[in-house]
Structure 1
Amino acid sequence: MPKPQLILASTSPFRRVLLTRLGLPFETANPAVDEALLADESPEAGALRLSEAKARAVASSHRDALIIGSDQVACLDGQIFGKPGTHDNALRQLQVMRGRRVNFFTGLCLLNARTGNAHQRGVATLVTFRNLTDEEIESYLHKEKPYNCAGSAKSEGLGIALIARIDGEDPNALIGLPLIALCDLLRIENVSVF
């Protein structure tokens, strides 16, 4: 039986690189989903909702595919840290997070577009940041420019130097696509990476 088409509902180059590690052929599609959390929505619930929304947003164009949606929200003491967009926002984020432990929660959805069945997982990654000086943060921001990464922490690059400790079940989750959980969801849909 042929493997179904696999679609990554994301424009993230980081998620694309991660997915290539599984050795499965896939295409990407832009879900064009508003990533704002709803009023009174927890970060975890929001990440899960958005991961499914991204998958469903491209389903009509890929009716026989398995579609992967993923979304990440960083939170600390109830404060949400999304993609900063600008240098000043990134500076403020990292100043607040320095010396603190931040939850980078990643929502993952695998949608079978043919059946409409959606399988979801949430993966928490607790990141303890070093207590860096403003000068160290500025230097990092000028070198890395992580303005499209939740919480300004681009751990796949120089951002790893911001971090004192990572606690979580999948190191890939921090980059935005928890591959261990994805392998579990693919198995539910009878797709083997082997």
Structure 2
Amino acid sequence: MLASTSVYRRELLERLRIPFSVVSPRVDETPLPNESTLDLALRLAKAKAAAVAMDHPDAWVIGSDQVADLCGAAIGKPGNFERAMAQLQLMRGATVTFHTALCLMRGDTESTLSIPTEVTFRKLSDEVLEAYLHAEEPYDCAGSAKSEGLGISLLETIKSDDPTALIGLPLIALSGLLRDAGFVIPAKK
């Protein structure tokens, strides 16, 4: 089961060709006082998996969360054009670390990890950023730069051990956790 409402995570998990269902985890994503961005991502991935696992104790549940970190501050989903523009202006020429946390849970068995992705943004004009936002409308993406789409043009470099982590679900890491849990990936036809 995928404990997520993210269409991006669902699309990524479909690549592994394993049967799964999607369940909304209904978790409060408010950061705790003085909580680091890494700790926030890990806590939310585990909380999402745990919320769904409570109602489905025999299922393997995948929880994931991503928090973008700019100099220790969390950069969330902008929700609208104005906030997205402010985010992109703030990140212009900067390196942002996207912490993508993953939790695989079933009963008392749990594996939790995080894959960091360092993204350096190009120094682009407001005009270019505005044109991007009107074309892509990435208001549901942390940091406003949809790397699987036109947002890739805003980026100078991406450094990660798992390229799918930046989109929201680290498939290399997840494949390893699922194999450890007994899944065969890729599955026989």
**Offset at 1:137?**
0.5
| Equivalent position to 2:97, from 95, 103, 108 | 103
**In the alignment, what sits opposite 1:21?**
15
Number of residue pairs aligned between Structure 1 and Structure 2: 186
**In the alignment, what sits opposite 2:182?**
190
- What is the rounded CA distance, in whole Å, between the counterparts of 1:159 and 1:36 in structure 2? 26
Q: Within 5 A, what are the aligned runs for 1:81-100?
A: 81-100=75-94
**Offset at 1:88?**
0.7
1:49 is paired with a residue of what secondary structure?
helix
Letter in 2 for 1:53: A
1:124-176 alpha-carbon deviations (Å, 9 max, x no partner):
00001111100011011111111110111111111111111100001100000
CA RMSD of aligned residues (A): 0.8
**In the alignment, what sits opposite 1:123?**
115
2:102 is paired with a residue of what secondary structure?
strand
**Offset at 1:61?**
2.4
Displacement over 2 Å in runs of 4+: none
| Equivalent position to 1:138, from 109, 130, 133 | 130
1:9-60 alpha-carbon deviations (Å, 9 max, x no partner):
0111111110011010111000111112111111001100100000111112
**In the alignment, what sits opposite 1:59?**
53
Asked if the contact 2:62/2:102 (under 8 Å) is kept, the reply is yes
TM-score between the two structures when normalised by the length of structure 1: 0.94
1:123 is paired with a residue of what secondary structure?
strand
2:12 is paired with a residue of what secondary structure?
helix
2:8 is paired with a residue of what secondary structure?
helix
2:166 is paired with a residue of what secondary structure?
helix
- What is the rounded CA distance, in whole Å, between the counterparts of 2:44 and 2:17 in structure 1? 26
Question: Is residue 77 from structure 1 mapped to residue 71 from structure 2 by the alignment?
Answer: yes
- What is the rounded CA distance, in whole Å, between the counterparts of 2:165 and 2:93 in structure 1? 21
Q: Unpaired runs of 5+ in structure 1?
A: 1-6
- What is the rounded CA distance, in whole Å, between the counterparts of 2:39 and 2:139 in structure 1? 24
**In the alignment, what sits opposite 1:3?**
none
**In the alignment, what sits opposite 1:163?**
155
Asked if the contact 2:66/2:100 (under 8 Å) is kept, the reply is yes
**Offset at 1:90?**
0.6
Q: Within 5 A, what are the aligned runs for 1:26-45?
A: 26-45=20-39
Alignment identity in percent?
A: 55
